[in-house]
Structure 1
Amino acid sequence: MTEKISIYQVLPRLFGNQNKKPIPNGNIHENGCGKFNDFTPQALEKTRNLGINYIWYTGIIRHATTTNYPKLKSQDQCIVKGKAGSPYAITDYYDVNPDLAVDVSQRMKEFEELIERTNAAGMKTIIDFIPNHVSRDYNSLNKPKGIQDLGETDNKNQSFNPQNNFYYLPGEDLKLDFCEQQKYIENPAKFSGNDCFHAHPQITDWYETIKLNYGVDVQNHYQQHFSPIPNTWERMLEILKFWTAKNIHGFRCDMVEMVPVAFWAWAIPQVKKINPEILFIGEVYQPQLYEAYIKEGKFDYLYDKVGLYDQLKAVLRGEKPASTLSDSWKSLQGLDEYMLRFLENHDEQRIPSSYFAGQAEKAIPAMLLSATMHNGPIMTYFGQEFGEAAQGSTGFSGDDSRTTIFDYWNVETIQKWRGKSAYSGSGLNSSQKLLQKEYQKILKLSINNPIIANGEFYDLTWANRYNHHFYHNHVFAYFRSFEKKCLLFILNFSDKTLEQKVIIPGHALEFAQKDTTKLKDQVFKNVFSKENIKLPYYTMVNDGISVNLKPYYYQVFEF
């Protein structure tokens, strides 16, 4: 039996920052910055106690920034988003972000000590791997001896060469029309990270990045040139091996679908020879590509964003009935166990915002479903468990209901959780504390119960499609079964108290029991209370189990 994976995504730059009055677009001296050392043993213990077994530290590898350090030059503001810079515009794959170190000269050692503390707290470390693009000002000062730098051997007179690391526009200078004081010179100009194939990217492009060349001729019908192995493949495998040797436990791989499947099929098995347990999680948004990246590309898990996330968001906003959630799992065609579920991450709006649910508590049933519907991982974004709203303008990020990844800023609910003493929660109000307890209940149930980590799924909403007493617009019901034990989940996505009857058909019990000769009356034991409901077999399959559902809440029974 395995423990279900429960991931906590956190930006160290923001996590430990105690400045309560940062100013929009402020620099590091004005606004402050969190450090590796803010993840104390006590902070990590409290995070583990939430029901977490993996931490995704976002923004570890050194990236473009406007902040100067001795022997580490800053980048031109024209090619940096915000003062702090995007964690996805890497300037040195073999270094860590100096902003996060107390002693900049010891920054790698401080990160290695963070990995050790994370392990000691009973959790494992995930970092980003950004394979599609790097900063326009990429230059590795810390690469191991004998390793080429990206672009070092490129033929810059050719727009495309399978052995080049970048794509070029010979004879053209980079022109950033939106930046009036461009000092950065790039000649020849390179393709920008979002497949922008000209020398004058706009502010809506990934203008701060340049695209890596994996042997795909993007301007000639995306023809593939994979033999001999492209130079970029070798360089990126070296990077993966470097970080694997640091005793990390996983890579969250950025914009996977912009990198050919063949590269992953070649690289991932080689990394797993070093550490068979290391995870590869892919950010993919095109469902038609899921099977290729899982079966051929060897990814462990992929984002379930355009499936379950989008469906749940629509249900919480009253735009779709709860019954449409059945379409989400069916569309995966058996790939459910490979999907990473979440309600928040750095790309998405916070739950309490008007763009999403408008209130953190409304998402409680959605979080339970995301965590327990199938075997794949569940992810929580730091501050989500307290109802972080990410209100106000921060600088480059603006006021978009997202926690900024571009600015030196704070996260108010994390500051309140830290309180006057270390991570006591003394600054949280009563509703924030109650929300945290709900997340803890859900996540601990997820990682501690083998039924959720290993069991099969049965959709009772679909089974009740002809039940006229079932609130199809507001209720979703399912059960999970493992070794003849079951958990029944009944979720209410409405703002009203509902009396709901859920029929559990004979086929469902046969599915769970695997032995039709032993079908019998059942006792349903409430997982979170002392309530027991005993039902004769014929009542269960004909009339159903009757439960009271509070607004935006749930009932969970073991049977």
Structure 2
Amino acid sequence: MIKVSLPGFSYLLLGLLVGCQPAPQQAADEPVNEQHVAQDEAMTSKPRPVVYQMMTRLFGNKQSANIPWGTIEQNGVGKFADIDDAALDGIRELGATHVWYTGVPHHAVIRDYSDYGISQDDPDVVKGRAGSPYAVKDYYNVNPDLAMDPANRLAEWQGLIDRTHAHGLKVVMDIVPNHVARHYQSLSKDEDVEDFGASDDTSVEYARNNNFYYIPGLAFEVPQGPPPLGGEAHPLADGEFAEYPAKWTGNGARTARPDAGDWYETVKINFGVRPDGSPDFPVLPADYADKSCAEHLAFWADKSLPDSWHKFRDIALYWTNKGVDGFRYDMAQMVPVEFWSYLNCSIKAVNPDAFLLSEIYIPEQYRNYIYLGKMDYLYDKVGTYDALRAIVEGKASTDSLPAVFEDIGDIHRHMLMFLENHDEQRIASPAFAGDPVKAKPAMVVSSLVAGGANLVYFGQEVGEPAAGDAGFGKATRTSIFDYWGVPAHQRWMNGGRFDGGLLTQEEKSLRDFYARLLNLASTEPAFQGEFADLHQVNRRQRGYEGNLYSFVRILDQHRVIVVANFDKQSKQTELRIPAGVLAGMGLTQGQYGLRDLLAERVAGQLVVGKGEGSLTVSLAPYQSLVLKVQHL
């Protein structure tokens, strides 16, 4: 077995043993980066995170009328209080270590809370009736929809934080640095905190300490598109919204009238990036990728920085000090990596164990966001998700996977794997698999192939298909913009018992599969270790086709062989394990027992002889084997 001290690099070297080539980011003979080692090993020393994402507004909703564009009274809404001990026990049963409470910060909503001093939001610049959770209106308080008593909403959120911790779970919430709601107004900030834009010079398009970008001399115009609220009359739905001068829109649109497809409900934050894209702040030297967070903070300590940097640092520390354990950063790739260095290291100085997750879709920037920006985890959408989805849909074969996993070989411990989240189509929808069983092998590979974190989206574990058009939100994705019920999830919720009492037998079986798989992903030591691809060496074996995928995970004496069948037909093949991988597994000539950890049963033998290992595998349609090697 080839030994090196960089954990991610051992992932690549085992790949070399079976014919892969090293990733271009670092050649095999380059010196090991000790800071990268420390950053990676700090993550390896803890249980692998399993993140349970819920749309908090929908999670506890018991009403099932599901009237398009329905009000709270018609369609209901979930509350913080609904996420009780029974609910948290159920989340914990799935193997979750973290709960990502989506939509908690106070965002724009079409509901009258003026009795609580909250200004009304204009439907012309709000998506849906319940509003986008990514159009934050007040970063120092939470969505009043989620509270039994809106006046007491912050205390109710604190109570949920405390309940979550009492169940051994960590709390993750959203921060959206790239943009805020068109009408941002914090009622809850301390007196010494200034609102975004309060001191901006609005006569110029750009100034370093302006919080927004402006279009001087022009007033904002509401985009031309479908009428708000599905055409329902509303006193503020008049096709107008007072904003002078107009601001750049959240996705970077620089016109006074954005398009209906733009993020027109938001305005873009200025982080000191000039309109031509050049930085108006100190640029981190490249060698800071090799330095610790303490060294990063020392770099920033004597620097003059854009005002927005300080505002978002203060917001993150405000929630950290209330017990929030980490943050999911929306569209982090639209914010300069230097800001992430400043923010993330400021958070880590207060909570070294903070969980910091970045939404990013630019693979060539991954390593910058990890090592310069000090992110813990990045979305693996462009690589693993896209590849596995194509296989499930029958548009590609498993032959595409070795290259995908080789590309992230050196950073696999920093990747978040998922098959669903609030942005993606539901597996069970006709637009994806149409049947959640078809994606079970993809979920096994996604959950076990890398050493990073896993995510499951509420309702995924019971096959929620997102079949209804909610209003602004359309079928195939569970709406994040509307008041709505989630039928399959509600059957597990069972009127607030959270015991699965109304699930069908198929839904119960699927949830049991997810629970066994995700608990394995988090607790089996081998899945924090090294990786070796078995697919390429077995591709010419009889019965081994482009709808099977296999690999090995190894940590010390913990050795697991994973074989997944993506086909609707049963498969049988003789799986070969080459000499180099056997050496990595520490196996010599003889016979070894195999136990299927997923099915919890004895599953044959691995025979090692003449420098090669072999085992007979038989798989039912869409079945996977997770075989732990044991001495007889």
Which TM bucket (shorter chain)?
A: over 0.9
Q: Determine the structure 1 residue equivalent to 2:351.
A: 275
Give the AA of the match of 2:211.
Answer: N
The CA distance in 1 between the partners of 2:610 and 2:247, in whole Å, is 69
Give the AA of the match of 1:463.
Answer: V
Deviation of 1:207 after TM superposition, in Å, equals: 0.3
The CA distance in 2 between the partners of 1:221 and 1:446, in whole Å, is 41
From 163, 178, 192, the counterpart of 2:249: 192
8 Å Cα contact 1:503-1:540 kept in structure 2: no
Q: Determine the structure 1 residue equivalent to 2:271.
A: 214
- Note if 1:248 corresponds to 2:331: no
Instruction: List gaps (5 residues or longer) in structure 1.
Output: none
From 546, 554, 573, the counterpart of 1:481: 554
Deviation of 1:148 after TM superposition, in Å, equals: 1.3
From 398, 406, 409, the counterpart of 2:481: 406
The CA distance in 2 between the partners of 1:223 and 1:275, in whole Å, is 29
From 527, 538, 553, the counterpart of 1:464: 538
Q: Determine the structure 2 residue equivalent to 1:359.
A: 435
The CA distance in 1 between the partners of 2:213 and 2:610, in whole Å, is 67
- Note if 1:342 corresponds to 2:418: yes
Give the AA of the match of 1:551.
Answer: P
8 Å Cα contact 2:538-2:544 kept in structure 1: no
Aligned positions of 1:77-476 closer than 5 A: 77-178=123-224, 181-218=238-275, 220-226=276-282, 228-399=304-475, 401-420=476-495, 422-452=497-527, 454-465=528-539, 467-469=540-542, 471-476=544-549
Give the AA of the match of 2:619.
Answer: L
8 Å Cα contact 2:541-2:574 kept in structure 1: no
Superimposed CA distance per residue, residues 91-136 of structure 1 (whole angstroms, 9 cap, x where no aligned partner): 0010100000001111000000001100111111000010100000
8 Å Cα contact 1:464-1:470 kept in structure 2: no
Deviation of 1:223 after TM superposition, in Å, equals: 4.1
- Report the secondary structure of 2:467's partner residue: coil
The CA distance in 2 between the partners of 1:526 and 1:456, in whole Å, is 19
Q: Determine the structure 2 residue equivalent to 1:37.
A: 81
Superimposed CA distance per residue, residues 110-168 of structure 1 (whole angstroms, 9 cap, x where no aligned partner): 00000110011111100001010000000111111211111011100010001100000
Computed over aligned residues only, the root mean square deviation of the Cα atoms, in angstroms, reads 1.5
8 Å Cα contact 1:521-1:537 kept in structure 2: yes
The CA distance in 2 between the partners of 1:240 and 1:263, in whole Å, is 13
Superimposed CA distance per residue, residues 403-431 of structure 1 (whole angstroms, 9 cap, x where no aligned partner): 00000111111211122561121111110
After the TM superposition, list the runs of 4 or more consecutive aligned residues in structure 1 that deviate by more than 6 angstroms: none
The CA distance in 1 between the partners of 2:608 and 2:342, in whole Å, is 53
Deviation of 1:446 after TM superposition, in Å, equals: 1.3
Q: Determine the structure 2 residue equivalent to 1:512.
A: 585
8 Å Cα contact 1:55-1:123 kept in structure 2: yes
The CA distance in 1 between the partners of 2:60 and 2:181, in whole Å, is 26
Residue range with higher mean Cα deviation, 483-492 or 298-307: 483-492
8 Å Cα contact 1:470-1:502 kept in structure 2: no
From 89, 105, 112, the counterpart of 1:68: 112
Task: Summarize the Cα distance change of 1:105–1:553 in structure 2 as closer, same or farther, 3 Å threshold.
Answer: same
Residue range with higher mean Cα deviation, 356-365 or 417-426: 417-426
The CA distance in 1 between the partners of 2:563 and 2:176, in whole Å, is 39
Q: Determine the structure 2 residue equivalent to 1:537.
A: 608
8 Å Cα contact 2:135-2:180 kept in structure 1: yes
Task: Summarize the Cα distance change of 1:200–1:524 in structure 2 as closer, same or farther, 3 Å threshold.
Answer: same
The CA distance in 1 between the partners of 2:170 and 2:363, in whole Å, is 28
Q: Determine the structure 1 residue equivalent to 2:593.
A: 523
- Report the secondary structure of 2:626's partner residue: strand
Residue range with higher mean Cα deviation, 312-321 or 323-332: 323-332
TM-score w.r.t. length of structure 1: 0.96
- Report the secondary structure of 1:325's partner residue: helix
The CA distance in 2 between the partners of 1:125 and 1:463, in whole Å, is 42
Q: Which has the higher contact order (CA 8 A, sep 6+)?
A: 2
Deviation of 1:31 after TM superposition, in Å, equals: 1.5
Superimposed CA distance per residue, residues 377-422 of structure 1 (whole angstroms, 9 cap, x where no aligned partner): 11000000000000021001123x0000000111111211122561
8 Å Cα contact 1:133-1:212 kept in structure 2: yes
Deviation of 1:332 after TM superposition, in Å, equals: 1.8
The count of residues paired between Structure 1 and Structure 2 equals 551
Give the AA of the match of 1:172.
Answer: L
Deviation of 1:87 after TM superposition, in Å, equals: 0.2
8 Å Cα contact 2:605-2:615 kept in structure 1: no
The CA distance in 2 between the partners of 1:540 and 1:389, in whole Å, is 48
The CA distance in 2 between the partners of 1:121 and 1:38, in whole Å, is 15
The CA distance in 1 between the partners of 2:610 and 2:510, in whole Å, is 36
The CA distance in 2 between the partners of 1:193 and 1:420, in whole Å, is 39
Deviation of 1:307 after TM superposition, in Å, equals: 0.4
- Report the secondary structure of 2:601's partner residue: coil
Q: Determine the structure 2 residue equivalent to 1:51.
A: 95
8 Å Cα contact 2:105-2:138 kept in structure 1: yes
Q: Determine the structure 1 residue equivalent to 2:56.
A: 12
The CA distance in 1 between the partners of 2:173 and 2:611, in whole Å, is 47
Residue range with higher mean Cα deviation, 468-477 or 181-190: 468-477
Residue range with higher mean Cα deviation, 524-533 or 168-177: 524-533
Task: Summarize the Cα distance change of 1:392–1:430 in structure 2 as closer, same or farther, 3 Å threshold.
Answer: same
Give the AA of the match of 1:307.
Answer: G
- Report the secondary structure of 1:437's partner residue: helix
Q: Determine the structure 1 residue equivalent to 2:290.
A: none
Instruction: List gaps (5 residues or longer) in structure 2.
Output: 1-44, 228-237, 283-302
- Report the secondary structure of 1:472's partner residue: coil
Superimposed CA distance per residue, residues 192-211 of structure 1 (whole angstroms, 9 cap, x where no aligned partner): 00010111101100000000
- Report the secondary structure of 1:251's partner residue: strand
Deviation of 1:511 after TM superposition, in Å, equals: 1.6
The CA distance in 2 between the partners of 1:53 and 1:492, in whole Å, is 28
Residue range with higher mean Cα deviation, 401-410 or 136-145: 136-145
- Report the secondary structure of 2:609's partner residue: helix
Task: Summarize the Cα distance change of 1:362–1:275 in structure 2 as closer, same or farther, 3 Å threshold.
Answer: same
- Report the secondary structure of 1:486's partner residue: strand
Task: Summarize the Cα distance change of 1:361–1:443 in structure 2 as closer, same or farther, 3 Å threshold.
Answer: same
Deviation of 1:520 after TM superposition, in Å, equals: 4.3
Q: Determine the structure 2 residue equivalent to 1:494.
A: 567
- Report the secondary structure of 1:521's partner residue: strand
Q: Determine the structure 2 residue equivalent to 1:24.
A: 68
Give the AA of the match of 2:607.
Answer: P
The CA distance in 1 between the partners of 2:307 and 2:605, in whole Å, is 66
- Report the secondary structure of 1:479's partner residue: strand
The CA distance in 2 between the partners of 1:348 and 1:396, in whole Å, is 16
8 Å Cα contact 1:350-1:388 kept in structure 2: yes
8 Å Cα contact 1:253-1:282 kept in structure 2: yes
Residue range with higher mean Cα deviation, 339-348 or 138-147: 138-147
Deviation of 1:535 after TM superposition, in Å, equals: 3.8
The CA distance in 1 between the partners of 2:339 and 2:589, in whole Å, is 50
